[in-house]
Structure 1
Amino acid sequence: MANSPSGESVTQRIVRVLETFDADRPVQTIAEISRRGELPPSTGHRMVADLVDSGLLERDDAGRIRLGLRLWELAQRGSRALRLRQIALPHMEHVQARLREHTQLAVLEQDEALFLERLSNPRAVSNITRIAGRLPLHASSSGLVLLAHADHALRERMLAGPLTAVGPETVTDPDELRTALERIRRDGVAIAPGSIEDVSTGIAVPVRDGRTGPVIAALSVVIPRAAPTAGAVDELRSAAVRISAQLTQPPRT
C-alpha cells in the first residue's frame, strides 16, 4: 500500500487508528483519534471516514466513533484464537465452577500476554485483567508460563530488560526471573503471589497443541493470597490436559 511522506504505510496508520480504542476509551471523537494516533487532523478525518464507510468503525448519533461490528465479524472468521477459545471455554467453566475464582486463557502476542477469555465470580478476589487485555510477560502467572516456554531469543530479550514492576512482588531482577522460568519449565506450573496485586495469587499452567506439542496458551486462575494452591493447580492441570487433547481433533463441520 502507498506510503505517507514519513515512509509509514497506510496499513500501519490504520492499525494506529484502531489501537487508540480500548476498554477505557470505547468511544472517541475524530480529534481524539487523530491526536492519540499521532496523525494530522486532515489525515485522521479522511482515514476515519474511510473506515466508517468500510464498517470497521461506526459513528453514533453524536458523531463520535467506535469500533464497528464488521471488525468483530472479520476477526471471528477462521481465527486460531477463536477455535482455541471455543475448545477451552467448557473446561474453563468447569474450573471456575469448582474454584469460584477468576479463570483466564492467555496467548503470546507481540511479546505480551493477550487474554482471550476471562470467567469471573462476583465474590472472587480482585483481578485487573480483561478480555482482549494485555500484560507484560514477566508480570502475571500466565505471562510467566508463556515466557518460560517461548523461544530462547524472546526469553533473552525479555531478561535484558527493563523489567517494570506491575505489582508489589513482580519479579524485576533478571537472575531471579531466569531461575523462576527454569522452575516453571521443570514443574509445569507458575505460582505468582503478589505479582500484580498484593491480595491475590496467580496460578497458571501451559496448554499444548496436543498432548506433547508446543505450548500455545496459558490457563490460569487468580485466588486469594492466603488460599492454598494445591487444589487450584490440580484443577488447572486436568483442564489443560483435556483442552490439549481436544485441540488435536479435527474441527466439527
Structure 2
Amino acid sequence: MANSPTGETVTERIVRVLETFGTDRTVQTTAEIGRRAGLPSSTAHRMVADLVECGLLERDEEQRVRLGMRLWELALRGSRALRLRQAALPFMERVQARIGEHTQLAVVENDETLFIERLSHPHAGANITRIAGRLPLHASSSGLVLLAHGPEELRERVLTGPLEAVSRETVTDPARLRRVLADIRRDGVVVAPGSVETVSTGVAVPVREERGRVIAALSAVLPRGAPTRHAVAELRAAASAISAAIGAHGP
C-alpha cells in the first residue's frame, strides 16, 4: 500500500478507522471517526465511503456508520477464535447451567485479555466484560491465568508496567503480582475477589491444547463472598473437556 504524506500506509489508516469502534461505541458519524482516527476530514470521508462501498462499514438511515456484516463474515472465516469458541461452547453452557453465573472464555491478544465468548444468567451478578471486550492481563481472573501461563517475555512486559488499577483491589504491585502468578501456576486456578468489580469474584482455570500449552482461560464471575469450590470444580471439568475436544478436532 502506498504511503500517505505522513508516512502511514493505507492499511494503517484503515486499521485506525476500524479501531475507532468499540463495544461502547458501535455507531458514529464520519466526522467522529475522522477525529478519533486523527485523519483530515476529506481523507476520513473518502476512506469511510470506500469502506462502506466494499461492505466493511455500513450506514444506517441517519447516515451514521457502523461496522459492516462483511467484516464480521471475513473475520470468522478460518478464525482460530471461532474454532476455539465452537469447541468450548457446549461445555460452557453446562457450566453456566450448573452454577447460574456468568461464564467466559478469553485469550491473549496484543498483550491484553480478549473475551471471545460469554454466557450469562438472567439473575447473575455484576459483570462489565463483553464479547470482543478487552481488559488488561493483570486485571481479571482470566487475564491472570493467561499471564501466569504465558511466555516469560509477555510477563516481563506486563510487569514492567504501568499496571492499571481497574478497581481498588486490582493487583498493581509487581512483586505481589509475581507471587500471585506463581501461585496460579502451582494451583492451576485463580480466585480473584474484587479485581474488576468490588461486588464480584472472578474464578478462572487454564484451557490447554494437546501438547499442554495454555491457549485460553475459562472463567466464572460470582457474587462477592459466594462459595467458589463448586464453580472451580465445574470449570476444571469443562476445561478438560474443551482440551479433549480441541485435540479431537485439531487446532
1:250 aligns with 249
Separation in 2 of the partners of 1:247 and 1:4?
Answer: 43
Residue 233 (1) aligns with residue 232 (2):
yes
1:198 aligns with 198
Separation in 2 of the partners of 1:82 and 1:44?
Answer: 31
Residue 35 (1) aligns with residue 35 (2):
yes
Separation in 1 of the partners of 2:189 and 2:133?
Answer: 22
C-alpha deviation, 1:52, in angstroms: 0.5
Once the two structures are superposed, the pairs formed by residues 70-219 of structure 1 within 5 Å of their partners are: 70-210=70-210, 212-219=211-218
C-alpha deviation, 1:116, in angstroms: 0.2
Residue type of the partner of 1:223? Answer: L
Q: Once superposed, which parts of structure 1, at least 4 consecutive aligned residues long, lie more than 4 Å away?
A: none
C-alpha deviation, 1:14, in angstroms: 0.6
Separation in 2 of the partners of 1:187 and 1:146?
Answer: 14
The alignment partner of 2:191 has SS state of: strand
1:15 aligns with 15
Separation in 1 of the partners of 2:65 and 2:127?
Answer: 29
The alignment partner of 2:163 has SS state of: coil
Residue type of the partner of 2:226? Answer: A
Separation in 2 of the partners of 1:224 and 1:25?
Answer: 28
Residue type of the partner of 2:230? Answer: G
For residues 178-204 of structure 1, give each alpha carbon's deviation from its aligned partner in whole angstroms, at most 9, with x where no partner exists. 000000011001110010111110000
C-alpha deviation, 1:23, in angstroms: 2.2
C-alpha deviation, 1:172, in angstroms: 0.4
State how many pairs are aligned: 250
The alignment partner of 2:248 has SS state of: coil
The alignment partner of 1:228 has SS state of: coil
> Can you give the 5+ residue segments of structure 1 that lack an aligned partner in the other structure?
none
Q: RMSD of the alignment, in Å? A: 0.9
After TM superposition, the score normalised by the length of structure 1 is 0.97
Residue type of the partner of 1:197? Answer: E
Separation in 2 of the partners of 1:198 and 1:62?
Answer: 40
The alignment partner of 2:90 has SS state of: helix
The alignment partner of 1:27 has SS state of: coil
Separation in 1 of the partners of 2:88 and 2:72?
Answer: 20
C-alpha deviation, 1:95, in angstroms: 0.2
Residue type of the partner of 1:15? Answer: V
Q: Which moved more, 1:20-29 or 1:44-53?
A: 20-29
Residue type of the partner of 1:224? Answer: P
Residue type of the partner of 1:78? Answer: G
C-alpha deviation, 1:228, in angstroms: 1.0
C-alpha deviation, 1:250, in angstroms: 2.8
> Can you give the 5+ residue segments of structure 2 that lack an aligned partner in the other structure?
none
C-alpha deviation, 1:139, in angstroms: 0.2
Q: Which moved more, 1:15-24 or 1:136-145?
A: 15-24
C-alpha deviation, 1:47, in angstroms: 0.5
For residues 75-118 of structure 1, give each alpha carbon's deviation from its aligned partner in whole angstroms, at most 9, with x where no partner exists. 11110100000110010000000000000000000000000000
Residue type of the partner of 1:119? Answer: L
For residues 51-91 of structure 1, give each alpha carbon's deviation from its aligned partner in whole angstroms, at most 9, with x where no partner exists. 00110001112111111000011011110100000110010
For residues 221-253 of structure 1, give each alpha carbon's deviation from its aligned partner in whole angstroms, at most 9, with x where no partner exists. 0001111111111000000000001101136xx
Separation in 1 of the partners of 2:232 and 2:65?
Answer: 43
1:5 aligns with 5
Separation in 1 of the partners of 2:34 and 2:63?
Answer: 15
Residue type of the partner of 1:66? Answer: R
